[in-house]
Amino acid sequence: MRLEQRIINITDVVFGDNFGVEKGVLTIDKDALIEELLKNENVKEIKIDLAKPGEKTRIIPVKDVIEPRYTVEGTDGFAGVTREGAPHGEGIVNILKNAAVVTIGDIVGFQEGVIDMWGEGAKWTPFSQTYNIVVDITPIEGLSPHQHEEAARMTGLLASEIIGRAAKDAEIDETIVYEKGTMEEEAKKYPDLPKVIYAEMLISQGLLHASYIYGVDSAKILPTYLAPTEELDGAVISGNCVAACDKITTYQHQNNSVIKELFKLHGKEINFLGVVMVPELTTLTGKFVTRDMTVKLCHQMGADAVVVSEEGYGNPDTDLVMISAGLENIGIKTVLITDECAGWDGMSQPLADAKKEAIAVVSTGNVSHVVVLEKADRVLGDVEAIANLAGGWDGSYNPEDGSLRCELNAVIGATSEIGFHNATIELV
């Protein structure tokens, strides 16, 4: 499969009377965008604002972040969700790099996140560096929680498609090609390179804890193989509002750092076989089935090594170490990527489970680390929502000085377990 990504570097975003890009400046017709988004019968009101790097702007509570794109050749949009179509992963896509659709609003539950565009908060979220088109969604009254969540999710995806049209005729700054043949073809080309699979765990636990593969709730599938270009092309989207620090937004799926890094090594140090999408289920029986099917798939595909990334923490820690043990016990070397829930002082047990076979672990940071976020000049959303975010509490917001005191839990992307974040590791 061959995926050609044509990059258009965005250096500013403004409102105007059309959609387009000129010399790096993305213009958005706000009125036309709102008009199209209000065609969703479950949406009552839409507000659109812009948030740019360096501004003292706070965005809260965030549901999802999506990268706007335009498909030149191939399956456009989000197949199985916003439109029908053949699988993603092949073709040509124009990408508005550094632009992002950020959805906010009252999103049913309590676990959304915060993005600060400046200061201490900006250090922790990668989305402080994107030019954000903030879509504030008010659904109609009387929706069920599932209808409410779907209205917000679909609005964000459609907004990214509409804005993505601006990339159609824009000047291309860079072209990146991701290409890989069948497993048989790649094995013949690289017979002496170790065969590596990426097992990507996905939150799959119901309302506000869902992920979708071609529109199918991952809780309803067994571990499934994807060609790595499929995820980079929109096959996987976020439907979850778990702890903001390590939820994988749709934007992060579109730019999965692990997949990109393995592609860099493919044909040089490794033979990258592909991706196994692994649902994180809540029942013990489900966890055993998921482990066994993941191990079987990796073994049958001939893997010598597997990289496993987690989404979330707590009970998914069990899935993580069970999969590691299952693979190691049949001779497949395993590397785990996870964050830690180690308490404010960093001294608590980092994972909820442990096994002796989990011996190669990459940490993406401590979700419990406390930060103080100074007063914003402008808030998009509701600053008092911090009290209901994972990582926040009643009293996190100080109305006297406008500051927030919260754990990294509350900051979007702060400890991303696919490596799409700003944190670095210091070896001591």
Q: Pick left, alpha or beta for residue 356 (phi over 0 → left; psi -120 to 50 → alpha; otherwise beta).
A: alpha
Where do the DSSP E strands lie in 52-179?
Answer: 57-66, 69-73, 91-97, 99-104, 113-116, 131-139, 174-179
The two tokens of residue 96 are 């508005």
Q: Please give the Cα distance from 318 to 310 (Å, whole number).
A: 10
Q: Please give the Cα distance from 275 to 107 (Å, whole number).
A: 31
DSSP 270: B
* Cβ neighbours around 347 below 10 Å, total: 8
The two tokens of residue 168 are 């159609």
* Contacts with 313 (C-beta within 8 Å, 6 or more apart), sequence order: 243, 246, 338, 339, 340, 341, 351, 352, 367
Q: Please give the Cα distance from 95 to 69 (Å, whole number).
A: 5
Helix (H, G, I), strand (E, B) or coil at 265: helix
* Contacts with 18 (C-beta within 8 Å, 6 or more apart), sequence order: 27, 29
Q: Please give the Cα distance from 343 to 81 (Å, whole number).
A: 38
241: annotated active-site residue:
yes
Q: Is the dihedral of CA 387, 128, 370, 255 positive or negative?
A: positive
Element (H, E) at 261: helix 257-265
Instruction: Indicate which residue of 241, 298, 341, 406 is catalytic.
Output: 241
Q: Are 235 and 395 in contact (CB under 8 A)?
A: no
* Residues involved in catalysis: 241
